Structure 1
C-alpha cells in the first residue's frame, strides 16, 4: 500500500514538472522573439516600412520607384559607412558634406580643362583620382588634428565643415558648373544590367570595408581604440595612426559620394552638394547600430540605416506629408535608436 502510494506521488510530481516545463516554452519563445526584435531592430523597422509602403504608397512596387530610392540612398550610405568608422574610433566628423562639395568642385575643373580636352580619358581619370585624393587628405588633416594635437573631434572637423565648402565656393566663384560628360555622368546615372551604378559602388564599398573590419589587423585595432584607447595603446596598438587612417578613409568615401552627387546633377554646385549630409550620415550610422561610445563598426548596419532614413522620407513625401515632418521623423528615429542603445548598455 505504501509503495503504491509512493508510486502515485512520484507520478504526480513527474506530471507537475512536465507541465511546468511545458509552461516555460511559450515564455522562452516570447523572450527569444523579444531579444530578436531588440538585436535586429533596424532590420525589423526596414521590413515594417516596406510593408507600410506596399499597403499605402501608390506605385511603390514599380521598378522606377525602386530605382529612385536606390539612387537617392547611395550617397548617404557611402558617407554613413565612413561615419560609422569614425564613430567606432570614438570620434565624429562634421566635415563630410563640405568634402563632398570640394570633391564635386575639383573633378569638373579638371575634366573641363584644356588638358582634358586634348586627353579626354586621362583627364577624366585624373579628375576622379585627384578629387577623391583631396577629400582623403582633408580627412587625414582632421585625423592629424585629433590624434596629434588632441583637439576634440567636433571642433577639429568643424574647421573643414566651414572652410571646405568655402574653398569650393572660391574655386567656382559660388557659381554652378554645368557640364556634358557622359563618361563621368555614368557613375551617377548609368545602369549595369538594370542596376544603378551608384548602388553597385555602394554595395562593393560596404562589403569590402565590412570584410576589412572583420578580418584585418586594422579592423581589430580600430575597435580596440574605440573601445578603450588608453588600454589599446598600452597593448601596443598605434592609436594615432589608426585614427588618422580612419578619418582619411572617411574623407575618401565623402569624396566618392561627392562625385556621384555631382554626376547625378550633371553640375557642380558648391553651395548645395552635401548640404546637411553629415546629419543624415550620423543618423544612418546610429540607426544602423554603431555605438556612440565607440568600439563597434556595423558597416552593413550603416547601409541599412541609410535605407531606413531614405525610406522614411520617401514614405512621407509620397503620401503628401510636408518635408519638414520628415525631418522631425528622422529626429524621432535617432532618439529611439539612442534609447535602445542605452537599454542594451544597461543590461
Structure 2
C-alpha cells in the first residue's frame, strides 16, 4: 500500500478533493501555530467553528435580525459570526494572560461550553439552507480554483509574511522562547498572548463558515468536531516547536497536506478510517520525537 498504487492519485479530481478537505485544517492550524509559538495551546477551535457555523445561518436566513437584501444579510452574517469567534478567542487569551491560567485549562472552558452554546443557539437542530451568495465561500471557484483555497492561500502567505517581516511576529517568538526575557526586553507579553488567541478565534470562525457552506447545512453537533487535534497535528508535523519559540507557517501547510495525503491514501486502499487515525497519531508521535531529538542533539 503506497501512494504510487493508489487509484487515480494524481488525477485532477483527487487533487481537488485533497485540496478542499485540507483548506479548513490549514486555516485553523495557522492560528494554532501562532498560539503554540507563544508556548500556548488552543483546544477551543472546534467549538468556535461550531458557534460561528451556528450563528451565520440564523442571520442570513432571518431567524434573527431579519436583514434584506440577501447579499447584505450574508455580509452581516459573516462579519458577526467571525467577530464573535474572535471575541471568544480573545476571552481565551484574557484568561491566559491576565490570570496566568495554563492555556490547556483556559481553552478547555470553551472546548466544553462552546459546543454547548452552539447547540443551545440552534436547539440542537440541523440548519439546512440554499443561499448561493453565502455558499460561494465553500463551493465557489475563481479562475478554476476553489475560493476556499484562495482564502487559505491569503491567510498562509499573510501569516508567513508577518513572522518574517513584522515586530509582532518577532514578539510572538520572543514570548514563546523566553517569557521572562521578553518582559525585560519590553515586549507587551499580555497583549501578544491576547492577540494570538484572538487571531486563532477569527480563523476558526472563518473555517466554520467554509465547512457549513460546503455542506449546505449547519450541525452544531458536528461542525469542527476533532479539529483541534487535526490542527495540532499539522503544527507538530510541520516542525513548529510545541514548547514555543519557533514557528513555521509553511511547515504547518506541508504538515496538514502530509496528514491529508496519508489519510486519503489509506482510505483509497481500503484501510478503515479508525486505522487511519491510528496512523495519524503515530505520525504525530514521530514528529514530537524528532523535535525532542533535534533539541537534545
Contact 1:309 1:330 in 2 (8 A): yes
Q: Which residue of the partner structure matches residue 71 of structure 1?
A: 20
- Residue pairs, 1:148-163, within 5 angstroms: 148-163=98-113
Contact 1:116 1:122 in 2 (8 A): no
Q: Please point out which of 291, 295, 309 is paired with 2:241.
A: 291
Q: Which residue of the partner structure matches residue 162 of structure 2?
A: 212
1:211-244 deviation digits (Å, cap 9, x = unpaired): 0111111001110000000110011000000000
The reply to whether residue 125 of structure 1 matches residue 86 of structure 2 is: no
Q: Please point out which of 45, 48, 54 is paired with 1:96.
A: 45
Q: Please point out which of 255, 258, 262 is paired with 1:308.
A: 258
Cα offset, 1:118, TM superposition: 2.5
DSSP 3-state at the match of 1:143:
helix
- Residue pairs, 1:172-211, within 5 angstroms: 172-211=122-161
Q: Please point out which of 88, 92, 97 is paired with 1:147.
A: 97
DSSP 3-state at the match of 2:242:
coil
Q: Please point out which of 116, 129, 134 is paired with 1:166.
A: 116
Q: Please point out which of 219, 230, 240 is paired with 2:180.
A: 230
- Which runs of at least 4 in structure 1 moved beyond 2 Å after TM superposition? 114-119
Q: Which residue of the partner structure matches residue 6 of structure 1?
A: none
DSSP 3-state at the match of 2:28:
helix
Cα offset, 1:195, TM superposition: 1.2
Gaps of 5+ in 2: none
Q: What is the alpha-carbon distance in structure 1 between the residues aligned to residue 255 and residue 59 of structure 2?
A: 34
Q: Which residue of the partner structure matches residue 247 of structure 1?
A: 197
> How many positions carry a matched residue from both structures?
296
Larger Rg: 1
Q: Which has the higher mean CA deviation after the structures are superposed, 185-194 or 135-144?
A: 185-194
Gaps of 5+ in 1: 1-48
Contact 1:105 1:268 in 2 (8 A): yes
1:124-156 deviation digits (Å, cap 9, x = unpaired): 110000000000000000000000001110010
Contact 1:187 1:263 in 2 (8 A): yes
Q: What is the alpha-carbon distance in structure 2 between the residues aligned to residue 342 and residue 158 of structure 1?
A: 26
Q: What is the alpha-carbon distance in structure 2 between the residues aligned to residue 300 and residue 269 of structure 1?
A: 31
The reply to whether residue 325 of structure 1 matches residue 275 of structure 2 is: yes
Contact 1:116 1:124 in 2 (8 A): no
1:159-205 deviation digits (Å, cap 9, x = unpaired): 00011110100010001000000111111111112211111111110
Contact 1:74 1:202 in 2 (8 A): yes
**TM-score scaled to structure 1, two decimals?**
0.84
1:232-264 deviation digits (Å, cap 9, x = unpaired): 001100000000000000000100100000100
Cα offset, 1:121, TM superposition: 1.6
Q: Please point out which of 59, 63, 87 is paired with 1:110.
A: 59
Cα offset, 1:117, TM superposition: 5.5
1:29-77 deviation digits (Å, cap 9, x = unpaired): xxxxxxxxxxxxxxxxxxxx9xx42x21111121111111111000001
Contact 1:138 1:251 in 2 (8 A): yes
